[in-house]
């Protein structure tokens, strides 16, 4: 069953054909839009549609994307995407006025957008997180387009981003670090280290963790609102069935946290090192920033700039692989 939607003062029809969603502008008259939809659906039933050109209007696509964002993301993240789309539409209006379709979003357009951002980087507000963050953010928009069948390739992956600054990257556990820590740990402490590095669980969250939060059916650890005062801490993290079983009863692992903190202090390890390791591992598995910030239980997608060194390292590795 098709739909009629309205953007500003114009209607468009949306319908399914050959497993894909199609949209067409239908003017400013709702009754005529309904007639157009009826005709399209009748042709589909009779098999008379022929080859349907897959050309999605940008304004329609942005509306669909933003509706999906509002249903899936935190309030602060919704604002980030809203500001991004406004900024990108300003760019298109000023420098790409003929670009009206999603299929026109090419690497060249994205290179021009990067130049546009660099020229305006002194402005406050939206630009405070930097051009690199904005490009990771708009990459999520084009990933959505690919899922909808409106694009075949993400145009941002062909654009070189700025190298990370001289700041120190968040420390993570190397394989050698992890082996050394596990070698000095008892059974319960080893399980705790595995739990922290495989879930990104905060030590504060560990205090309130209950056995029923390990969901055997879905193989996920469910972190909910009862853990902290952070309203955005709810998340479901995939976890191995082996670790699910080993972590019960949970009380013995909680007790091991005291000894682990002491050992970390002796080795000069920050408590955030487990979350950093978890986040870096997700990045190197190709997890997008939309999923990354939710797995980490962050309230704002912009907070992933903390992991920008890792994101750029992984992206650079992908560029080298692509070029070779």
Q: What is the CATH number of the domain that holds 250?
A: 1.10.443.10
Which among 233, 230, 153 is positioned nearest to 200, based on CA atoms? Answer: 233
Q: Where are the beta strands (DSSP E) in 212-252?
A: 214-215, 220-223, 235-238
64 shares a domain with 31: no
Which among 257, 270, 261 is positioned nearest to 189, based on CA atoms? Answer: 257
Q: How far apart are alpha carbons 6 and 305 in whole angstroms?
A: 36
Q: How far apart are alpha carbons 262 and 269 in whole angstroms?
A: 10
**How many domains in the chain?**
3
Q: What is the phi-psi region of residue 149: left when phi exceeds 0, alpha when psi lies from -120 to 50, beta otherwise?
A: left
pTM (whole model) above 0.75: yes
Is residue 304 a part of any domain in this protein? no
Is residue 213 a part of any domain in this protein? yes
160 contacts 111 by C-beta, under 8 angstroms:
no
Structural domain that includes position 106:
58-158
**Residue 160 per-residue DSSP state:** P
Q: From first to last of its 324 residues, what are the pLDDT tens digits of the chain?
A: 677 777 777 776 676 665 666 666 667 777 776 777 777 777 777 765 554 545 688 988 998 899 999 999 999 999 999 999 999 999 999 999 999 999 999 999 999 999 999 887 545 455 556 889 999 999 999 999 988 878 888 999 889 887 766 667 899 998 898 888 888 888 899 999 999 999 999 888 888 888 888 888 899 998 876 544 444 567 899 999 888 888 888 888 888 988 888 888 888 889 899 999 999 999 999 999 999 999 999 989 999 999 999 999 998 887 654 454
CATH number of the domain to which 69 belongs = 1.10.150
Is residue 278 a part of any domain in this protein? yes
261 contacts 185 by C-beta, under 8 angstroms:
no
281 shares a domain with 200: yes
Provide the token pair at 126. Answer: 């939206």
152 shares a domain with 67: yes
């Amino acid at each position: 069953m098709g739909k009629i939607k309205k953007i500003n003062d114009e209607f468009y029809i949306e319908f399914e054909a050959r497993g894909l969603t199609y949209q067409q502008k239908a003017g400013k008259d709702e009754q005529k839009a309904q007639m157009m939809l009826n005709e399209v659906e009748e042709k589909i039933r009779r098999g008379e549609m022929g080859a349907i050109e897959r050309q999605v209007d940008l304004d329609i696509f942005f509306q669909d994307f933003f509706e999906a964002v509002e249903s899936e993301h935190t309030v602060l993240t919704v604002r980030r995407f809203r500001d991004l789309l406004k900024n990108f539409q300003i760019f298109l209006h000023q420098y790409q006025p003929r670009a009206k379709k999603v299929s026109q979003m090419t690497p060249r357009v994205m290179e021009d957008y990067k130049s546009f951002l660099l020229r305006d980087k002194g402005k406050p507000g939206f630009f405070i997180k930097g051009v690199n963050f904005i490009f990771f953010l708009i990459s999520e928009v084009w990933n959505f387009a690919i899922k909808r069948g409106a694009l075949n390739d993400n145009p941002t992956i062909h654009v070189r981003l700025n190298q990370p600054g001289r700041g120190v990257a968040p420390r993570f556990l190397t394989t050698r670090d992890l082996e050394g820590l596990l070698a000095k740990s008892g059974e319960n402490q080893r399980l705790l280290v595995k739990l922290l590095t495989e879930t990104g669980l905060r030590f504060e969250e560990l205090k309130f963790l209950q056995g029923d939060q390990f969901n055997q059916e879905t193989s996920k650890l469910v972190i909910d609102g009862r853990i902290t005062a952070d309203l955005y801490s709810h998340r479901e993290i995939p976890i191995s069935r082996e670790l699910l079983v080993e972590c019960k009863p949970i009380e013995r692992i909680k007790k091991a946290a005291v000894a682990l903190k002491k050992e970390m202090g002796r080795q000069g390890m920050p408590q955030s090192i487990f979350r950093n390791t978890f986040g870096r591992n997700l990045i190197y598995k190709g997890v997008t920033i939309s999923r990354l910030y939710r797995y980490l239980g962050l309230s704002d997608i912009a907070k992933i700039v903390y992991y920008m060194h890792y994101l750029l390292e992984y992206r650079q590795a992908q560029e080298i692989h692509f070029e070779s």
